Amino acid sequence: MDGTTYDLIVTMIVLMLFAYLSRELEVMRAISEIEGYLALFKQSRDTAFQALLRSLGRFSSLDRKMVEEKASQLIEIAVIFPVNLDPYGIVEKIRHVLRVEEKEVEEEVSSIASRGNRVDVQNLTNLVEAVRALNYLYKLVNHYYLIARKFKSLWLILQLNALLPFLSEEFKALEGAVKAFKNGLPIGDSAGPYVAAKLARILGAKRRYEPVPDTEVFYAEMGGRRIYLAKAKGPGGTVGRLDEALEWITGRDDVSLIVSVDAALKLEGEETGLISHGFGVAMGGVGVERFRIEEIATKKKIPLYAVLIKMSEWEASSIMGEKVYKAADKAVEVVKQVLEHKVKPGTAAVVLGVGNTIGVP
C-alpha cells in the first residue's frame, strides 16, 4: 500500500472520528442545557408550591401536613375534555366540564382555607391554578427529556433543547402570576376589567346589576346612548361569565354594538401598551365564552368591535406594570371615542371588560 492510499485512509478515519465526537459533544451540550433548565423549572415549581402552602396555611385551621396533602392533590387535578368525534354540541359539553371543575376546585380550596372570605378563596383558587400549570409544565419537560435519554434520540434532545427558551417564558409568566395571586394585586390581564370599571365611574353609572355569578353589569348613559359595561366582579381573582351577562343584556335591550377590551400578546419588537383595534371578540382561553358571545351577536346581527392592549405573556400574567396601567387609561378614551362614533344616540351598546379582575373592585 503506497503512502497516498495510507494517508487517505488515515484522513477518512480522522474525519469519521471527528464527526462522531462532534455529534457526541453536541448531544452533551444539549443535555447539559436541558438539565440546567430542568433544575430551574423544578426550583420554580417547588418555590411556587411552598408559596401556595403558606398562603393556604394563613386561612386554614388544618395542620401543615394535611394542608400539604390536600394542596398536592389539587395541583394534580386533570381536566378531561369531551369526546369530539361528533363535534355537534361540543362547546356546551366543554363548558359543562369546565364549570364543574371550577366549582369543585373552589369548594375544595374553601374547605382548606375555612377562615378566608370569598375574595381570599378566589385568589387562592387562582394561585392553585398557577402552581398546577407550573407543575404540569415541569413534569412534561422532564418526561420528554427522560424519553430522549432512554432511547438515546439525538433529534428528540435537539428539538426539546430548541423549545426550552419558549418554555422558559411560560415559566416566567407563571412565576409572575404566583406573586400577583398571592398578594391579590392586579395583573396585566386585568386591563380589560379595569377599563370597564373606570368607564363606569367616568360615565357615572346609574345602576349596577349582578345577573350571573361573579359578574357585574353597570348601566350608564353617554350623549343619549345607553351603555352597559360588563366585567368580572372584583377584587377577587375571577374572569366572570361575560357570555351569560351579554345574554342577559341583549334579552332586555336592543344592542347596536358590542365592544370587547382585552390584553393581547405583543410580537417581539412591538411596544408594550400599544392599542390595537379589531373586529370580533377579544377573548382568550379555551374559546367557550367567545363562541357563545359570537353566537349571540350573529343571531341578533350585532357588530363586534375589539380594543386590544398589547403586552408580553409575562406582563399579562404578572403584577400590572406602569406601561400597561397607562395603556389601560388610554384605552378608556379609545373606547369612549368608539362609542361616540359608532353608536347612534338613542341606541344601546355593550362594553365587555375581558380578563381576570383580581385587584380591580
Mean pLDDT of 268-283: 94
Break the chain into its structural domains and give their ranges. 7-183, 188-353
Strand partners, 353: 231, 261
Calculate what percentage of the chain has a pLDDT beyond 90: 81
Enter the CATH code of domain 188-353.
3.40.50.1470
| Residue 29 pLDDT level (bands cut at 50, 70, 90) | confident
CA 202/CA 147 separation, integer angstroms = 57
Indicate whether this model's pTM tops 0.95.
Answer: no
Could you report the per-residue pLDDT of 96-117, keeping only the tens digit for each?
Answer: 999 999 999 999 999 999 999 9
pLDDT of 1 higher than 60: no
| Residue 10 pLDDT level (bands cut at 50, 70, 90) | low
Could you report the per-residue pLDDT of 227-255, keeping only the tens digit for each?
Answer: 999 999 999 999 999 999 999 999 999 99
CB count in 10 Å sphere of residue 235: 18
pLDDT given at position 3 = 60
Could you report the per-residue pLDDT of 125-184, keeping only the tens digit for each?
Answer: 999 999 999 999 999 999 999 998 888 777 888 889 889 988 999 999 999 999 999 999
**Contacts for 161 with CB less than 8 Å, ≥ 6 apart:** 30, 33, 34
pLDDT given at position 361 = 85
Q: Cα separations (Å) of 351 from 212, 218, 240, 256, 260?
A: 16, 10, 14, 11, 6
Kindly give the pairing relationship between strand 275-279 and strand 304-311.
antiparallel
pLDDT of 51 higher than 70: yes
